[in-house]
């Protein structure tokens, strides 16, 4: 059982690669959270996986991911071929973060969030992938994007091997410099002041294609009577609308016009594949 959140497809790509190699099911955290349940109840057996895959936002997991974990109730049952009824039942629990550069103390934050639900994190992994954060930065150059995607593919092979063997205590993390300062001091500011839509605008280039409305994980975008997107308040800052507008008509603040756009090259195919699997469930 693998739960994922994504804005521009990096984490979706990783989630699909892991689910396919491990023969496991994927669940979208955004889709589940849109149901607004107070508890998300899942049952799995002790041979199964419990995985979380998500991007890093301001040196921590996205708020929506932590809120989801907080609402999780996992019931573990013995696998059919488990005759040792004495051992404490526990699935193999891992997370994989995707980040442009560094994840700060994401490992500590996730470990604590899971511990509150009685879940012990077994191993953690972080993969550098193309950066989609454009405030104060820009997207990576074409060469860096290609290199990061190639390196990620190789790294995923190792991660899949480790997960397949249920290897514990692996900490393939990228905390970077001053992780405590960034995660404990800057991240709360980000969650308090940045999770809104007030800086999103659309210019005359908008064709009213509705892609932004369709892909917004929180369903915060509606196309108005003039065929232009209008944002409601809720936002995770995934920047999917900004990066995936086919005519670059969506802007974020004054400086974004000069910024590049990025989404994972296979995002459309991956999304289609996910929809097909879900329709067949």
Ligand X SMILES: Cc1cc2nc3c(=O)[nH]c(=O)nc-3n(C[C@H](O)[C@H](O)[C@H](O)COP(=O)(O)O)c2cc1C
Are 186 and 59 in contact by the 8 Å Cβ rule? The answer is yes
Q: In whole angstroms, what is the distance from residue 204 CA to residue 181 CA? A: 41
Pick one of 26, 32, 50, 102: the residue that binds ligand X (CB under 6 A). Answer: 102
Q: In whole angstroms, what is the distance from residue 187 CA to residue 167 CA? A: 30
C-alpha radius of gyration, the chain, whole number = 19
Residue 99 lies near ligand X (rule: CB under 6 A):
yes
| Nearest approach, Cβ of residue 121 and ligand X (Å) | 20
Residue 11 lies near ligand X (rule: CB under 6 A):
yes
Pick one of 61, 100, 175, 229: the residue that binds ligand X (CB under 6 A). Answer: 100
| Nearest approach, Cβ of residue 47 and ligand X (Å) | 28
Q: In whole angstroms, what is the distance from residue 90 CA to residue 268 CA? A: 35
∠ CA 246-148-105, nearest 5°, is 100
Residue 105 lies near ligand X (rule: CB under 6 A):
no
The interface region with ligand X, picked from 55-63, 65-73, 150-158, 213-221 by CB under 6 A, is: 55-63
Residue 238 lies near ligand X (rule: CB under 6 A):
yes
Pick one of 59, 68, 125, 252: the residue that binds ligand X (CB under 6 A). Answer: 59
The interface region with ligand X, picked from 22-30, 65-73, 77-85, 236-244 by CB under 6 A, is: 236-244
| 3 state DSSP class of 179 | helix
Residue 251 CA from chain centroid, whole number: 22
| Nearest approach, Cβ of residue 61 and ligand X (Å) | 10
Phi and psi at residue 185, in whole multiples of 5°? -105, -45
Q: What are 173's two structure tokens?
A: 């993390």
Interface ranges with ligand X (CB under 6 A): 6-12, 55-59, 98-102, 129-133, 237-239, 264
């Amino acid at each position: 059982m693998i739960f994922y959140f994504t804005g521009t497809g990096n984490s979706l790509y990783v989630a699909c690669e892991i689910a396919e190699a491990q023969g496991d099911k994927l669940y979208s955290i955004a889709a589940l959270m849109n149901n607004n349940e107070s508890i998300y109840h899942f049952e799995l057996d002790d041979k199964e996986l419990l995985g979380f895959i998500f991007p890093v936002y301001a040196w921590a997991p996205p708020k929506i991911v932590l809120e989801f974990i907080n609402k999780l109730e996992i019931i573990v049952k013995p696998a059919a071929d488990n005759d040792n009824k004495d051992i404490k039942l526990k699935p193999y629990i891992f997370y994989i973060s995707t980040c442009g550069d560094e994840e700060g103390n994401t490992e500590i934050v996730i470990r604590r969030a899971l511990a509150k639900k009685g879940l012990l994190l077994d191993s953690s992994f972080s993969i550098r992938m193309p950066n989609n954060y454009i405030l104060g930065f820009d997207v990576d150059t074409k060469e860096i994007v290609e290199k990061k995607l190639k390196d990620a593919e190789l790294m995923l092979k190792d991660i899949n091997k480790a997960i397949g063997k249920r290897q514990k205590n692996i900490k393939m993390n990228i905390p970077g410099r001053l992780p405590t300062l960034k995660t404990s001091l800057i991240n709360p500011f980000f969650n308090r002041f940045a999770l809104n839509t007030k800086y999103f605008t659309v210019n005359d280039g908008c064709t009213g294609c509705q892609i932004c409305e369709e892909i917004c994980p929180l369903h915060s975008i509606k196309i108005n009577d003039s065929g232009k997107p209008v944002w409601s308040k809720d936002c995770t800052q995934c920047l999917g609308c900004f990066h995936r507008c086919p005519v670059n008509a969506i802007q974020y603040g004054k400086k974004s016009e000069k910024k590049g756009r990025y989404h994972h090259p296979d995002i459309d195919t991956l999304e289609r594949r996910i929809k097909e699997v879900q329709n067949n469930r």
